Structure 1
Amino acid sequence: MTDLAKHRDRRPIADKIAADIRALVMAGEWEPGSQVPSNSELQEQYGTSNMTVQRALAALKDEELLEGRSGSGVFVRDHATQTISPASYMAPSEPGEPYRWVSEAAERDQRGSNKILRVAEVKPPKRVAKALGLGAQGTAVLRSRIGLLNDEPAELANSYYPIELAKGTRLADRRKIPGGSPTLLAEMGYPPREQADEVAARKATREEHEHLELPGDVAVLEIFRVVYSDNQRPIEVTELIKPGHLYKMGYHLPMH
């Protein structure tokens, strides 16, 4: 058996059609607001039945990538996939300015806000403990929040801070932090200097699905972020989850 035959796409034809269309929408090849080819055109293109095409389009409507308009047909959603620039949120805010999540949203004509879910001293997940340099029984302060754009869930963030750094500070307080955690850390003498991101795509957990109000079984982007201060000291680890059908990650890396 050839390698090609061994790895042939064995998904149902409706899933294949949905995957092709999803890629075109996410890449911007089918622009926001544009009309999708008719069912008969898609039937001819894929050599399949109208029912199969309808099943594919229904899945994409559930994911809110497409929308049906009575008497007009099916159209691509009106808003394009948004690119996130992770580095833009690391720097402390200017004096008197809001958290960069809010100010960056305003520059895109969006309304940014945060909802605090939980603040507690916890035993962190293994990879978080390792990144923070904690022992097997080490604890950290967890700040869990939902980032909102125009009152819609845009990200779920679980941020962990070393207990000796956070205890007794606003990091351990349930109230929102003026200017965000980068500003407070800088004021405490731990200015963020660099960050390391690991990015993965996967299916959402039940908690993520509910908090992010995800449509259907869409994938999420998982960003595991370690923020360092002077002398490569880890001061924050964040598990950031974003809806995969709404966002892309954007990096601008200088060449040396």
Structure 2
Amino acid sequence: MSDTPERTALYRLYDKLDRLLYVGIAGDPKTRWHRHASDKAWWPEVVTRDVEWFSSRELAAAAEVETITTEKPVHNRTHNYKPSSLLALLPAAAEVTMRPRLQRVEEDERGASQKVAADLRSLIMSGEIPTGSKLPTTAEFMARYRISNVTVQRALSVLKGEGFAIGRNGAGVYTTSPTPKDAGESDGQAVRLLDSDETAAPIEIAGALGCAPGEAIRREQLVVEVGDWPLSIVTFYRRIDSAPFEEYEHFDSLTVRPPTSEELVALNLPDGVAVMRTLRVVRDVTGEPCEVRLIIEPGHLCQRQYTVPAPRST
């Protein structure tokens, strides 16, 4: 096999108003454009094509990231960061009469036990109350929050149900963690198949995968577990004719919402716990989407960490 770097093109596609529609890289741009013509709904808008050649794919890929980041093409998702999109899970209703009225929350109307549980949960999850710490006595809780014995027991019952507290006979109640041992170690995880079939591509998945809504695609749904503890539901979507691929990068879109009935049962969720939903678009080295993964995780077991570069002045 030759070690000669592969000459690669960076191409820009513009519409009749000279708006930058899309940026990509390819060793053979014409072949890539032919694929775009068959699977990109915006392709008929393309009027002008600009091509810049680089001596290697690595140089072209770096230039692609720079171009997408600075020039903001309309249809590139990866690297095209738009702060406003963080607040918009769904587009706003077009008609004013269809928009819901904002109901302002003036005070916390939850029951006293839920408020106490929320306070303690926050302190446990942040590490302010370390795992293994003994919680105050019932009498101390009653004095601190000015609540009854019954309310204290209800609050502790909520935390026990969520896996944040555990009672020891005659010794009191201690904080603990709902995270299973070895949860972060792949060797300790097991995968259980829930379903595998061909299905019509939902609108969201079709848009991420670059196919037509309703097109037949492959779907495989798994539950990832450690011991008896379910950690996540992962659903894989691929085109019927997809070939084996090497993952180059992925783009994640995260939302938090209440669980569906199926998710609540499969993840064995305590009452009131939300789920974190990650839509992951996996791309190969050419920048094309080759797989979509829908990952559902228990909200009380999730943590995400990011490093985001500060915007550069132009």
Instruction: Pick the TM interval, shorter chain.
Output: 0.7 to 0.9
Instruction: Find 1:18's aligned residue among 105, 117, 123.
Output: 117
Relative distance call for 1:48 and 1:34 in structure 2 (3 A) is same
TM-score, normalised to structure 1, is: 0.73
Of 151, 157, 160 in structure 1, the residue corresponding to residue 234 of structure 2 is: 157
Distance in structure 2 (CA, Å) of the matches to 1:35 and 1:198: 38
CA contact (8 A) 2:162 2:178 kept: no
- Letter of the 1:226 partner, please give it: V
Q: Percent identity?
A: 34
Which structure has more relative contact order (CA 8 Å, sep 6+)? It is 1
How far apart are the structure 2 equivalents of 1:149 and 1:140? 30
Task: Identify the match of residue 173 of structure 2 among 57, 60, 74.
Answer: 74
Residues 57 and 66 in structure 1, CA contact (< 8 A), matched pair in contact too: yes
Q: C-alpha root-mean-square deviation of aligned residues, in Å?
A: 2.5
Displacement after TM superposition at 1:80 (Å): 5.7
TM-score (norm 2): 0.61
Give CA-to-partner distance per residue, 1:98-129, whole Å, 9 cap, x none: xxx8xx434xxxx1121111111111322111
Please name the residue that 1:41 is paired with.
140
Match of 2:189 among 112, 128, 134: 112
Other structure's SS at 2:235 match: strand
SS in 2 for 1:198: strand
Residue of structure 2 in register with 1:209 after alignment = 264
1:138 maps to 215
Q: Is the 8 A contact 1:81 1:245 kept in 2?
A: no
How far is 1:74 from its partner?
A: 0.8
Q: 1:45-64: CA deviations, max 9, x gaps?
A: 21222211111111111112
Unpaired runs of 5+ residues, structure 1, are: 85-100, 167-187
Amino acid corresponding to residue 149 of structure 2 in structure 1: N
What amino acid is aligned across from residue 239 of structure 1 in structure 2?
A: L
Match in the other structure for 1:30 = 129
**Shift, 1:230, TM fit:** 2.5
With over 3 angstroms needed to count, the CA separation of the structure-2 counterparts of 1:80 and 1:209, relative to structure 1, is closer
> In 1, distance between residues paired with 2:132 and 2:173?
10
* C-alpha distance in 1 between matches for 2:275 and 2:180: 13
What is the CA-CA distance between 1:234 and the residue it aligns to? Answer: 0.7
Measure how far apart 1:78 and its partner are: 5.1
Structure 2 residue 149 is the aligned partner of structure 1 residue 50: yes
**Max Rg structure:** 2
For the structure 1 residues 221 and 36, does the alpha-carbon distance in structure 2 shift closer, same or farther, using more than 3 Å as the test?
same
2:298 aligns with 243
Deviations 1:193-215 (A, max 9, x none): 11111222222111111111223
Following superposition, the deviation at residue 250 of structure 1 comes to 2.7
